[in-house]
Amino acid sequence: MEQDIARILIPRERIQQRVHELARQIDETYRDSSEGLIIVPILAGSIIFLADLIRCLPFKMRIGLMTLSRYRGAATVGGETQLVHELSTDIEGRHVLVVDDILDSGGTLMAVRSHLQERRPASLRVCVLLRKTAKAPKDLVPDFVGFDIEDVFVVGYGLDYDGHYRNWPDIGVLRPELYA
C-alpha cells in the first residue's frame, strides 16, 4: 500500500490534533442544544473520521445512517450523486450534524442538504474533514472544516480509490499513474 502513495499530505498526528480541535468547536456550538443531536455520516468515506470525532464528543448523541455514492469503482472524477441507502432515523425537529470526509465539487453535500432539509430538522450543520478550496462552491460553506487542501486526489483515513486505501492512517496523494 505504502508504495502507491506519492506523498503524505496530512500525517496521522496532525489529523488527530485537528479532530480534537473540531470536537471542541462542535461541543461549544451544541453546548446548549446537544440534547437529541443526530449525527449523519456520509458513508463510506467518513467512517474513520466519524469514529475518531464522536469519541471526542462529551455529550449524548445518536447516529443516523444514509449512504450516497458519487464515484463508481475506479474513477477519480465525480459522477451523479446517488442515494444508495435512505436515512435510518427520523430527524424532524432534531438538531442534525452531517459529517463528510471531503468537500470537493459540492455535489454530494448539496444533494444531502436538500434531502435532509425536506425532513424538517430543527437545525442542519455540516462538518467536513477536508475541503478542496479551488472547487468548493461559494454558496456551500461548511460549519466545521478540518483542512483546506489543494486540488489533488487524496486517499487514506477513510478515503478510497476503487475501495482501497481507507485503512491507510495518513492522508496521502495517490501516485497519478495508478489511475491515469
Binding site for ligand XMP (CB under 6 A): 42, 45, 70-71, 78, 100-108, 153-155, 159-161
Assess whether the previous peptide bond of 74 is cis (omega < 30° from 0). Answer: no
**Grid cell digits, residue 178:** 495508478
Burial of 34 (0-12, 13-18, 19+ CB in 10 A): middle
Q: Looking at the DSSP assignment, which residues form a beta bridge with residue 62?
A: 38
User: What's the closest the beta carbon of residue 71 comes to ligand XMP, in angstroms?
Assistant: 6
Q: Which is nearer to ligand XMP, 94 or 101 (CB)?
A: 101
The reply to whether 104 belongs to the active site is yes
Active-site annotation holder among 32, 104, 148, 151: 104
- Residue closer to ligand XMP, measured from CB, 23 or 174: 174
Least distance between ligand XMP and beta carbon 125 (Å): 17
Residue 55 C-alpha cell reads as 469519541
CB closer to ligand XMP out of 56 and 173: 173
Its sign, for the CA torsion 39, 22, 68, 48, is negative
CB of 115 to ligand XMP, least distance (A): 13
Q: Which residues are catalytic?
A: 104
